[in-house]
C-alpha cells in the first residue's frame, strides 16, 4: 500500500479516535455535571452510529438493579409444652411461711395457689375458695355487742380442691397454717395480721370461720391473760406495742379477707416448728396448685412439672416450667438475644437501665417488651439504732446529698418516678397520697450544714467527731457500710450513692451480696433481719392498699425476744407514728372509710419523712419480655399477683 493511502487511513483513524474519545462514558460524578449541555448533544449525534452499543455498555448509572434475594418464609409456630423463665435471684427456701424473697414468691406461685389472689388488674379473685368473703357479700359479719363485738369471716373451700399428692384440702389444713404461724419457735417473716385472729372454727371439712379479736380480747392479749388455742401469752410485747386494745374497737384490718392460708396438715403438721426451715417441705413442698417440684439444681434452676392429679381450675397446656437463675442481667439479655428463654420475671435483674438492649430485642420481633408501674419501690434502709445513723441529722444530711433526678436519668433513662413516701405511693396511683410531708430536694449545702450541726468536722474525708466512750474521749469517723444485692444496676446505683455521700465527706464502703444473702432469716445470718447492717438498698413489693404497720410499727422490729420476727428492719419507733398507723389500719371506725384512713395516715407520713429511717429513691417501672407466642403470661403490680399466679392458663407457641 502506498504511503499516501496509509496516511489517509491513519488520518481517518485519528479523527474517529477523537470522536470516540469525546463520547466515552466518564465517571458518574462527571456525568451529573455535564449531562445538561454538551454530552446530551453528542449522544444525539452518535446514537445512530455503531458505537452506540459501546456507549450503552459503559453508562453504569443506568444499569438495572439486581433483584433482592428472596427472604425465606417464617416457619409456622408450633405449640410448646415447656417454658423457661429467667430469675436473677435464687430462692433461699420454698417454705411458704419463711422468708420474704420475691423470687421465692414467684417460684411458689404455680405450686401454692391458695384461697385467693389478685390478678394483673389488682382485683381479688377466688381460686381455692368459692368466693372472696366480705361484709358486702355476706361472707363476713359483725358478731356480739360492745367490747365483745368482733368480726367473723367464713370461707368455703372449693369441692375437689386437693394437694398434689391427692389428699383433699380441708379445714384441718387451715388450722395447721394458723397454729404453726403462731408458734414462737417458727421463724416467720411477720405475724402482724395473724396475731389479730382469736380462733379458727372448722364448720365442716370444706368450711372454716376465722374469728377476729374483740376489744376485750385485745386487752387480755396485752395483759398476757388471753387464753385460746394458740399461745397468745408469748406475744405480750407485740400486743402491747400494737395498740390494738387502745382503739376501743373490735380488731380489724383494711384487707381482712386475706387472712387465711393452708399448709398440708399430713406433712407440715408432723414437723416441729423449729425444724420447718430444714425440712423436706422447705425444699420440695407439696402444694395445691397445678405443678410440683421436679428438681432443684442449686445455682442453676428449679424445674416444675405438671401434677399427675387433675387441677380443679383447668388442665394446664404447659407440662414443664423451668425457673432459670442468672448471675447478672447481661446474661439474661444475652439469652433473650439468642432466643434461649421464653420470658423474664419481675426479678430477672433487668431494669429500665437496660432499655437500649430491650428496644433492640423488641425490634427483632421474637419478644414483646412492655413496662408497667409496680407497687414496689427502691429505697435505702438506715439502721437507726446504730452509730452514726442513730442521729436524725446525719440521716437527713444523707438524704439531702442524694440527687434522685440524676440517678433516674443517668441509670434508668428517666423511666422511674422519684419516690418520697413509703409504699410506692404517688399522686398518680394512690388515693392516700398527701403533699403534707417533709421534702428533701437535692441540696449539698444543706447536707453539709446538718452534719456540722450534728458536731461533725467535715473538712476532710471522712468527717470526724470527738465522742466519749467508756469515760474516754475518742475520735470517730463518719463511715458506714452500704449493702445491696449483686444485681448489675444496683451495683451502679450503690456506686453513685457512694460518690454523692463522698461529696459531703461521708465515708461509704460498699458490700455486694448475692440476693438471698441479704434477705435470709436471722438464723441463717441475714443482715436485715438480724439488724447487723448500717444501710441497705433493696426493693419492697407491696399492695395497692397501704399496709405499714408491719414495716414501721414499733412492734414490727425484729429482736431476739421475738425470734427475729418482723419487717421493721430500720428499728424505727415513733409513738405518734404508731398511733397514726394503729388508727389507719386497726381502728374499725376508720378502716372502713378511705377518707378517714387518708387523714389518719398523715401524722405517720410526717414523722416518717422527718426522722428519715428510710431514704425512698424511686417507684419501679418493671420491664417484662415474653415471646410473642406466650399467651396469658401476666405479672401483676402487687406481691399478691406474682408472675406465675395463673400458670395453669399459660400457652406457648414458638
375: Cβ contacts below 8 Å, ≥ 6 apart: 423, 424, 429, 541, 542, 543, 544, 637, 638, 639
H runs (alpha helix) in 35-119:
38-46, 52-58, 102-108
pLDDT value of position 70: 56
pLDDT band per the 50, 70, 90 thresholds, residue 73: low
DSSP 138-175: TSEEEESSGGG-EEEEEEEBPTT-B-TTSPBP-HHHHH
Q: Is 535 helix (H, G, I), strand (E, B) or coil?
A: strand
Distances (CA, A) of 106 to 94, 302, 541, 544, 601: 10, 12, 12, 18, 31
pLDDT value of position 66: 47
Q: What is the pLDDT of residues 111-153, one digit of tens each?
A: 999 999 999 989 999 999 999 999 999 999 999 999 999 999 9
DSSP 639-652: TTS-TTTTGGG-EE
Q: Is the pLDDT at 203 greater than 50, yes or no?
A: yes
* Residue 224 to residue 232: CA distance in whole angstroms: 7
Q: What is the pLDDT of residues 570-592, one digit of tens each?
A: 999 999 999 999 999 989 989 98
Between 515 and 68, the more confident residue is: 515
pLDDT value of position 68: 58
* Residue 402 to residue 406: CA distance in whole angstroms: 9
Q: Is 60 helix (H, G, I), strand (E, B) or coil?
A: helix
pLDDT value of position 242: 87
Q: Is the pLDDT at 19 greater than 70, yes or no?
A: no
> Could you give the domains of the chain?
3-62 (no CATH), 81-113+289-375+622-654 (3.40.190.10), 115-279 (3.90.76.10), 376-620 (3.10.105.10)
Q: Is the pLDDT at 264 greater than 80, yes or no?
A: yes
Cell of 37: 449541555
Q: What is the pLDDT of residues 456-486, one digit of tens each?
A: 999 999 999 999 998 999 999 999 999 999 9
Average pLDDT of every residue of the chain: 89
Burial class (CB in 10 A: 0-12, 13-18, 19+), 9: exposed
pLDDT value of position 10: 33
Q: Is the pLDDT at 500 greater than 80, yes or no?
A: yes
CA quadruple 443, 449, 451, 455: dihedral, nearest 10: 180
Cell of 519: 434477705
pLDDT value of position 76: 77
Distances (CA, A) of 31 to 42, 60, 63, 468, 469: 13, 11, 14, 91, 91
Q: Is the pLDDT at 47 greater than 50, yes or no?
A: no
Q: Which residues pair with 520 in a beta bridge?
A: none
Which run of H or of E encompasses 373? strand 367-382
pLDDT band per the 50, 70, 90 thresholds, residue 45: very low
Q: Is the pLDDT at 23 greater than 50, yes or no?
A: no
Cβ neighbours around 120 below 10 Å, total: 15
Of residues 385, 124, 150, the one with CA closest to residue 253: 150
* Residue 490 to residue 508: CA distance in whole angstroms: 15
Over range 91-120, report the average pLDDT: 95
pLDDT band per the 50, 70, 90 thresholds, residue 561: confident
Q: Residues of the chain with pLDDT > 70: what percent?
A: 89
Given a contact cutoff of 8 angstroms between Cβ atoms, the answer to whether 129 and 158 are in contact is yes
Q: What is the pLDDT of residues 215-228, one digit of tens each?
A: 999 999 999 999 99
Q: Are strands 479-485 and 535-541 parallel, antiparallel or unpaired?
A: parallel
Q: Is 209 helix (H, G, I), strand (E, B) or coil?
A: strand
Over range 186-203, report the average pLDDT: 95
pLDDT value of position 72: 54
Beta-carbon-side half-sphere exposure of residue 645 (alpha carbons within 13 Å) = 28
* Residue 367 to residue 348: CA distance in whole angstroms: 15
Over range 492-510, report the average pLDDT: 98
Give the chain's largest Cα–Cα span. 143
pLDDT value of position 51: 32
Q: Is the pLDDT at 43 greater than 60, yes or no?
A: no
pLDDT value of position 41: 33
Over range 418-430, report the average pLDDT: 92
pLDDT value of position 459: 97
* Residue 261 to residue 251: CA distance in whole angstroms: 19
pLDDT value of position 28: 34
Q: What is the pLDDT of residues 336-352, one digit of tens each?
A: 999 999 999 999 999 99
pLDDT value of position 330: 94
Amino acid at each position: 500500500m502506498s504511503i499516501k493511502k496509509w496516511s489517509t487511513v491513519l488520518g481517518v483513524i485519528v479523527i474517529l479516535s477523537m470522536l470516540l474519545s469525546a463520547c466515552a462514558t466518564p465517571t458518574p460524578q462527571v456525568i451529573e455535571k455535564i449531562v445538561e449541555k454538551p454530552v446530551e448533544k453528542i449522544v444525539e449525534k452518535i446514537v445512530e452510529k455503531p458505537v452506540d452499543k459501546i456507549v450503552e455498555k459503559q453508562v453504569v448509572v443506568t444499569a438495572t438493579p439486581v433483584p433482592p434475594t428472596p427472604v425465606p418464609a417464617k416457619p409456622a409456630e408450633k405449640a410448646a409444652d415447656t417454658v423457661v423463665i429467667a430469675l436473677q435471684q435464687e430462692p433461699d427456701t420454698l417454705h411458704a411461711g419463711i422468708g420474704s424473697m420475691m423470687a421465692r414468691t414467684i417460684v411458689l406461685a404455680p405450686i401454692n395457689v391458695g384461697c385467693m389472689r389478685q390478678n394483673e388488674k389488682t382485683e381479688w379473685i377466688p381460686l381455692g375458695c368459692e368466693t372472696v368473703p366480705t361484709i358486702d357479700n355476706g361472707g363476713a359479719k359483725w358478731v356480739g355487742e360492745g367490747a365483745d363485738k368482733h368480726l367473723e369471716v367464713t370461707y368455703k373451700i372449693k369441692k375437689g380442691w386437693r394437694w398434689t399428692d391427692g389428699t383433699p384440702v380441708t379445714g384441718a389444713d387451715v388450722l395447721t397454717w394458723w397454729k404453726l404461724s403462731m408458734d414462737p419457735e417458727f421463724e416467720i417473716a411477720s405475724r402482724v395480721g395473724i396475731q389479730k385472729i382469736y380462733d379458727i372454727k372448722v364448720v365442716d371439712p370444706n368450711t372454716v370461720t376465722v374469728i377476729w379479736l374483740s376489744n376485750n380480747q385485745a386487752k387480755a392479749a396485752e395483759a398476757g391473760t388471753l387464753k385460746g388455742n394458740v399461745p397468745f401469752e408469748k406475744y405480750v410485747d407485740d400486743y402491747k406495742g400494737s395498740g390494738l386494745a387502745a382503739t376501743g374497737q373490735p380488731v380489724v384490718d383494711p384487707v381482712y379477707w386475706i387472712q387465711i392460708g393452708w399448709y398440708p396438715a399430713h406433712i407440715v403438721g408432723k414437723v416441729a416448728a423449729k425444724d420447718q426451715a430444714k425440712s423436706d417441705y422447705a425444699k420440695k413442698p407439696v402444694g395445691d396448685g397445678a405443678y410440683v417440684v421436679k428438681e432443684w439444681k442449686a445455682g442453676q434452676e428449679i424445674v416444675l412439672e405438671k401434677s399427675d392429679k387433675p387441677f380443679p381450675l383447668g388442665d394446664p397446656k404447659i407440662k414443664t416450667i423451668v425457673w432459670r437463675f442468672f448471675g447478672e442481667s447481661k446474661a439474661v439479655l444475652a439469652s433473650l438475644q439468642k432466643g434461649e428463654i421464653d420470658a423474664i420475671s419481675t426479678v430477672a435483674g433487668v431494669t429500665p437501665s437496660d432499655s437500649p438492649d430491650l428496644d433492640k430485642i423488641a425490634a427483632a420481633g421474637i419478644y414483646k417488651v412492655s413496662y408497667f408501674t409496680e407497687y414496689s419501690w427502691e429505697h435505702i434502709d438506715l439502721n437507726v439504732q446504730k452509730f452514726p445513723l442513730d442521729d436524725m441529722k446525719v440521716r437527713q444530711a444523707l438524704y439531702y446529698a442524694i440527687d434522685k433526678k440524676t440517678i433516674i436519668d443517668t441509670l434508668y433513662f428517666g423511666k422511674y418516678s422519684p419516690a418520697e413516701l413509703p409504699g410506692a405511693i404517688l399522686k398518680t396511683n394512690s388515693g392516700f397520697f398527701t403533699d403534707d410531708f417533709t421534702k428533701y430536694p437535692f441540696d449539698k449545702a444543706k447536707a453539709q450544714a446538718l452534719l456540722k450541726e450534728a458536731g461533725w468536722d467535715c473538712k476532710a474525708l471522712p468527717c470526724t467527731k470527738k465522742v466519749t466512750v467508756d469515760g474516754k474521749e475518742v475520735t470517730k469517723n463518719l463511715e458506714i457500710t452500704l449493702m445491696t444485692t449483686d444485681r448489675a444496676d444496683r451495683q451502679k446505683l450503690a456506686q453513685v450513692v457512694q460518690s454523692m455521700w463522698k461529696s459531703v465527706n461521708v465515708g461509704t464502703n460498699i458490700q455486694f451480696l448475692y440476693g438471698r444473702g441479704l434477705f435470709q432469716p436471722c438464723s441463717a445470718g441475714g443482715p436485715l433481719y438480724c439488724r447487723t447492717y448500717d444501710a441497705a438498698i433493696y426493693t419492697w413489693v407491696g399492695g395497692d392498699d397501704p399496709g405499714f404497720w408491719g414495716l414501721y410499727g414499733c412492734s414490727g422490729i425484729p429482736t431476739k425476744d421475738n425470734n427475729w420476727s418482723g419487717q421493721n428492719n430500720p428499728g424505727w419507733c415513733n409513738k405518734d407514728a404508731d398511733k397514726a398507723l394503729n388508727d389507719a389500719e386497726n381502728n374499725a371506725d376508720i378502716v372502713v372509710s378511705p377518707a378517714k384512713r387518708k387523714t389518719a395516715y398523715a401524722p405517720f407520713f410526717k414523722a416518717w419523712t422527718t426522722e428519715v429511717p428510710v431514704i425512698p429513691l424511686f417507684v419501679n417501672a418493671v420491664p417484662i419480655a415474653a415471646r410473642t407466642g406466650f399467651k396469658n403470661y401476666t405479672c401483676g403490680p402487687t406481691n399478691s399477683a406474682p408472675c406465675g399466679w395463673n400458670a395453669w392458663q399459660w400457652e406457648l407457641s414458638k
